[in-house]
Chains A and B, each alone.
Chain A
Amino acid sequence: MSFRFRHSLALTALVCAGFGAVAAEAKTFRWANAGDVSSMDPYARNETFLLTFTSNIYDPLIRRDKDLKLEPALAVKWGQVDKTTWFFDLRQGVKFSDGTPFTAADVVFSLNRANGPGSNMGGNFVSVKEIKKINDHRVEVITKYPDPLLADKWAALAMMSKAWAEKNNALNSADMTKNEENFATRNAMGTGAFMLKERRAGERTVLVPNPNWWDKPQHNLTEVIFTPVANPATRVAAIKAGDIDMMYEVPPADTESLKRDANVKVLEGPETRVVFLGFDTERPELLESNVKGKNPFKDKRVREAIHRSIDVQAIKRTVMRGQSFPTNLMVAPGINGYVKALDNRPALLKPEDAKKLLADAGYPNGFEVGMDCPNDRYVNDEKICQAAVAMLARIGIKVNLLAQTRSKYFAKILRKGDYKPGETSFYMLGWSPASTYDVHNVFEQLIQTPSNVTKKGLFNAGGYSNPEVDKLADAMEQETDKAKRDAMIAQATKLYVDDYAYIPLHQQAVVWAARKNIELVQLADNSFPLRFVTVK
């Protein structure tokens, strides 16, 4: 529908209003993103875009509201019967969009499917021992150890229909190793606010409202058309031309030109992902450095000199064009366990003071080190690294930057199958505890000592290790008393901050653009539920 067409509709509506009748207007909402949803199967991949897209069709037990707080969806009540037993009381009278009732059997089926072969959601089930149906509207979950975060972990888990999956032979998610098509990859049927009307992978995906939805719709849409448009300039042109109503993830370079357009509004907010730099503090000698026989990053003074020489405000001003939110912590506000009192970056050092710190550590003439950086993963990733290289050159550290595409990049820096370190000395990474919205995930994956035995620290690429932090992190995993847990979090946070374990840079901004007649809610986890969209 063209922009002009909608005007004429509005005109018709006005004319009709004169006669006391208002024409019912079709509210089509067309939006675009750089990439397509990779599958319609809600467990196919644990990534924000797929989860948020399928959540329009599939409801979870518990969903997140506009402030990312938990609120009842298919479960009306949940909690812990005792330390290792969770209960979920289900909403009565809920129907799938095909009219069949939603019951506890569907919940048990869905949870097992999410933890089954082909699913990418297995990480949410590490603590789970048994999932039991108590009656048609109550499910209980026994955990191996107290798991205070179970409800948070499961807030994104879609509930599927057992009968539908059985009928269509989609009992498991697609198995990549078999040459078989899976029905749920292209089709979807849930209890959600929308139903899948048409799916052409890579081309367009059309949703229509579900008349059987249990909740009262806040949206006023009659049809939603999603199209992937890979080229950023085309997306910008399309929204200016009115060919799309909303653009998810605006490239920073185009923000200004969109802001100048009278028909378009730009929405900006901080994302929960924190982008940071990390050091190899594990190897006795760095892989890519002219310092032989020792590892300069093992010396806290060196880490401090580097940390306090990187000017995140300058990066914000120049590279990020204002679209970043500098931080000194590894988690962002909005995540449980963000300690505001500790989120202060230490003052920048003058180059001569930083050089003095380096000299004290035994590097009066600085040193040379290699740095790894992705060039298509985070907003302006390569440019941020280039800025850091220039800032470090001023204190005598010569950084040789290697920026490459994400698949190559991650293969190089991440830990190997046996938890052996990847091949990097100095690197960039971004992290959001999107599965739990809790800081423990950050400790477990990024800060705890990497180990093949404990299975912690998988993404701690540089191998930072502090036994005290390890102990606190393990304790907070199972602590159900909130006050005690918060104290542990604060203590552990202070430890890694004082250690200069990482150099947190910023939260990147979530930037969306929409036509002026669109109302929507922008969430800090960069998810985009259609249930909040209205077209005026």
Chain B
Amino acid sequence: MLAFILRRLLQSIAVLLTVGLVAFALFRYVGDPINAMVGQDTSMEERETLREKLGLNDPAPIQFLVFIGNAARGKFGLSYRTSEPVGRMILERVPATLELSICAALFALLVGVPMGVYTGLYPRHWLSQLFQAVSLIGISLPTFLIGILLILIFAVWLRLLPSFGRGETVDLGWWTTNFLTWKGIQALILPSITLGLFQLTLLMRLVRSEMLEVMRTDYIKFARARGLTNRAINFGHALKNTLVPVITVAGLQLGAIIAFAIVTETVFAWPGVGQLFIQSVQFADIPVMAAYLLLIGLLFVLINLTVDLLYFAVDPRLRGQGMARPAGH
């Protein structure tokens, strides 16, 4: 187990270095940050001095090494746009993104899985047809459109929920949370639905097809023959056997939710890291973009690791096989 984790960690470092390298290669094309940093009356000399001091005239490999060296020591420098320390800017926005992502993921799981089970068990029921139709919408409509539609209906027409922002948050020192005030919870609803809808659809369809598959297998027939209750068969045997792929997908999708919260955060003016990233792209704020991409890379690596470990908990066969092929399939 330990050897496995160590090996994965080493791989992770390689992945992060690659992410950093690709990011840096891309930054050559985001344009010149100096113009965004200075006013129109700034003289050429001042511009050049600033460029020189920031190391923007150095060759790309040098810039990359300097960045990696600083990042390894936790130093991400100052944002070109706000002159605040990048590390803190990101940390301050992490709670907003994580709370939103967790809510969206829970929404997708708690609604998507039961819907999938239901449509898998009763494929011809009218409710299943309805779920299928709704899931088509979730898959085919782009996130920003769903978000704007929800805002239009629930904020502008019905005036039930706020149209943007985090509402009220409670500051716990190193974490700000939405969960402790009613306004904060209200503010979470629309963005969570927007962000989670696609994942919900995906999970529902996945669970449904897995369930259909499993229900046809012999051991379900035997279970029925033994006279087990429907509940025991559906959840104890059928659902449990569909879980391995579901966990893989759900885990990877959690990473996707956090990474792609960018769109939802922009639509709802949600002050998370995604919004920070978008603002930074417009200003060619390289330190923030680099740190963000590394963070997301790290996140995916950690999530993959957790998912791999979860297999052990869910699938007893893997425990017997040892660590050689932990992914199982």
Chain A residues at the B interface, C-beta cutoff of 8 Å: 2-4, 32, 35-36, 38-39, 41, 44-47, 120-124, 173-174, 176-182, 185-186, 200-204, 227-231, 233-235, 237-238, 240-243, 376, 405-411, 414-415, 417-419, 431, 434-435, 441, 445, 452, 455, 458-459
Q: Nearest B residue to A177 by beta-carbon distance?
A: B53
Among residues 130 to 181 in chain B, which have CB atoms less than 8 Å away from a CB atom of chain A?
Answer: 144, 147-148, 151-152, 155-156, 159, 162-166
Contact call A407/B43, Cβ cutoff below 8 A: no
- Which of B15-23, B101-109, B120-128, B263-271 participates in binding chain A? B263-271
- Which of B78-86, B204-212, B236-244 participates in binding chain A? B78-86
* Chain B nearest CB, measured from A240 CB (Å): 5
* Chain B nearest CB, measured from A435 CB (Å): 5
Query: Which residues of B lie under 8 Å from residue A3 when comparing CB positions?
Result: 159
Contacts A234-B163, A417-B47, A417-B48 known; A46 to B42 CB distance under 8 Å?
A: yes
A445 partner, pick from B40, B48, B148, beta carbons under 8 A: B40
Contacts A46-B39, A407-B30, A417-B47 known; A229 to B164 CB distance under 8 Å?
A: yes
Query: Which residues of B lie under 8 Å from residue A176 when comparing CB positions?
Result: 37, 50, 53-54, 78, 80, 83
Contact call A238/B164, Cβ cutoff below 8 A: yes
* Chain A nearest CB, measured from B174 CB (Å): 14
Contacts A3-B159, A230-B266 known; A179 to B75 CB distance under 8 Å?
A: yes
Measured CA separation A178–B85 after assembly (Å): 10
Query: Which residues of A lie under 8 Å from residue B148 when comparing CB positions?
Result: 233-234, 237
* Chain A nearest CB, measured from B94 CB (Å): 13
Q: Most chain-A Cβ atoms within 10 A of its Cβ — which of B44, B51, B83?
A: B83
Query: Which residues of A lie under 8 Å from residue B31 when comparing CB positions?
Result: 405-411
Query: Which residues of A lie under 8 Å from residue B39 when comparing CB positions?
Result: 45-47, 120-121, 123, 435
Measured CA separation A458–B82 after assembly (Å): 25
Measured CA separation A411–B294 after assembly (Å): 26
Contacts A231-B267, A406-B36 known; A124 to B41 CB distance under 8 Å?
A: yes
- Which of B218-226, B250-258, B272-280, B295-303 participates in binding chain A? B272-280
Contact call A407/B36, Cβ cutoff below 8 A: yes
* Chain B nearest CB, measured from A294 CB (Å): 29
Contacts A46-B38, A240-B156, A241-B156 known; A203 to B166 CB distance under 8 Å?
A: yes
* Chain B nearest CB, measured from A165 CB (Å): 16
* Chain B nearest CB, measured from A493 CB (Å): 21
A-B contact sample (12 more), CB < 8 A, given A44-B83, A408-B29, A417-B51: A46-B40, A120-B42, A122-B43, A123-B43, A177-B53, A179-B77, A180-B78, A185-B84, A237-B155, A407-B30, A411-B35, A431-B40
Contact call A435/B269, Cβ cutoff below 8 A: no
Contact call A376/B282, Cβ cutoff below 8 A: yes
* Chain B nearest CB, measured from A196 CB (Å): 15
Query: Which residues of B lie under 8 Å from residue A411 when comparing CB positions?
Result: 31-32, 35
Query: Which residues of A lie under 8 Å from residue B30 when comparing CB positions?
Result: 407-408
* Chain A nearest CB, measured from B170 CB (Å): 13
Contact call A455/B43, Cβ cutoff below 8 A: yes
Measured CA separation A186–B89 after assembly (Å): 12
Contacts A123-B42, A176-B54, A181-B84 known; A407 to B166 CB distance under 8 Å?
A: no
Measured CA separation A176–B78 after assembly (Å): 6
Measured CA separation A242–B120 after assembly (Å): 44
Query: Which residues of B lie under 8 Å from residue A410 when comparing CB positions?
Result: 31-32, 35
B159 partner, pick from A2, A123, A124, A227, beta carbons under 8 A: A2
In the assembled complex, 13 residue pairs joining A and B whose CB atoms fall closer than 8 Å, in A order, are A38-B82, A47-B39, A176-B78, A179-B75, A201-B89, A202-B271, A202-B275, A202-B279, A237-B164, A240-B156, A241-B155, A243-B165, A417-B44
* Chain A nearest CB, measured from B63 CB (Å): 14
Contact call A243/B155, Cβ cutoff below 8 A: yes
Q: Nearest B residue to A417 by beta-carbon distance?
A: B48
Does B33 interact with chain A (Cβ within 8 Å)?
A: yes
Query: Which residues of B lie under 8 Å from residue A414 when comparing CB positions?
Result: 35
Contact call A227/B42, Cβ cutoff below 8 A: no
B82 partner, pick from A201, A237, A406, beta carbons under 8 A: A201
Contact call B84/A243, Cβ cutoff below 8 A: no
Contact call B53/A234, Cβ cutoff below 8 A: no
Measured CA separation A231–B143 after assembly (Å): 13
**Nearest 10 pairs of A and B residues by beta carbon:** A46-B39, A407-B31, A123-B41, A411-B32, A203-B271, A174-B83, A408-B31, A229-B269, A177-B53, A407-B284
Q: Most chain-B Cβ atoms within 10 A of its Cβ — which of A4, A47, A120, A231?
A: A231
Query: Which residues of A lie under 8 Å from residue B8 when comparing CB positions?
Result: none
* Chain B nearest CB, measured from A442 CB (Å): 11
Contacts A186-B84, A230-B269 known; A458 to B89 CB distance under 8 Å?
A: no
Query: Which residues of A lie under 8 Å from residue B41 when comparing CB positions?
Result: 46, 123-124, 435, 441, 445
Chain B residues at the A interface, C-beta cutoff of 8 Å: 29-33, 35-44, 46-48, 50-51, 53-54, 75, 77-78, 80-85, 88-89, 92-93, 96, 144, 147-148, 151-152, 155-156, 159, 162-166, 266-269, 271, 275-276, 278-279, 282-284
Q: Nearest A residue to B36 by beta-carbon distance?
A: A407
Measured CA separation A123–B44 after assembly (Å): 11
Measured CA separation A181–B268 after assembly (Å): 29
Measured CA separation A409–B31 after assembly (Å): 8
Query: Which residues of B lie under 8 Å from residue A241 when comparing CB positions?
Result: 151, 155-156, 159, 162-163
Measured CA separation A186–B79 after assembly (Å): 13
Query: Which residues of A lie under 8 Å from residue B48 when comparing CB positions?
Result: 417
Query: Which residues of A lie under 8 Å from residue B78 when comparing CB positions?
Result: 174, 176, 178-180
Q: Nearest A residue to B53 by beta-carbon distance?
A: A177
Q: Nearest B residue to A186 by beta-carbon distance?
A: B84
Contact call B42/A230, Cβ cutoff below 8 A: no
B38 partner, pick from A36, A120, A406, beta carbons under 8 A: A120
Query: Which residues of A lie under 8 Å from residue B163 when comparing CB positions?
Result: 234, 237-238, 241, 243
* Chain A nearest CB, measured from B29 CB (Å): 8
Contact call A230/B278, Cβ cutoff below 8 A: yes
Contact call A185/B83, Cβ cutoff below 8 A: yes
* Chain A nearest CB, measured from B38 CB (Å): 6
Measured CA separation A2–B183 after assembly (Å): 11
* Chain A nearest CB, measured from B75 CB (Å): 6
Measured CA separation A227–B167 after assembly (Å): 11
Measured CA separation A32–B271 after assembly (Å): 14
* Chain B nearest CB, measured from A151 CB (Å): 17
Q: Nearest A residue to B161 by beta-carbon distance?
A: A241
Measured CA separation A202–B144 after assembly (Å): 20
Measured CA separation A245–B220 after assembly (Å): 61
Measured CA separation A121–B39 after assembly (Å): 8
* Chain B nearest CB, measured from A121 CB (Å): 8
Query: Which residues of B lie under 8 Å from residue A179 when comparing CB positions?
Result: 75, 77-78, 85
Query: Which residues of A lie under 8 Å from residue B29 when comparing CB positions?
Result: 408
* Chain A nearest CB, measured from B86 CB (Å): 9
* Chain A nearest CB, measured from B55 CB (Å): 8
Contacts A2-B159, A406-B36, A407-B30 known; A177 to B54 CB distance under 8 Å?
A: yes
Q: Nearest A residue to B96 by beta-carbon distance?
A: A203
Contact call A458/B43, Cβ cutoff below 8 A: yes
Q: Most chain-A Cβ atoms within 10 A of its Cβ — which of B32, B41, B96?
A: B41
Query: Which residues of B lie under 8 Å from residue A202 when comparing CB positions?
Result: 89, 93, 271, 275-276, 279
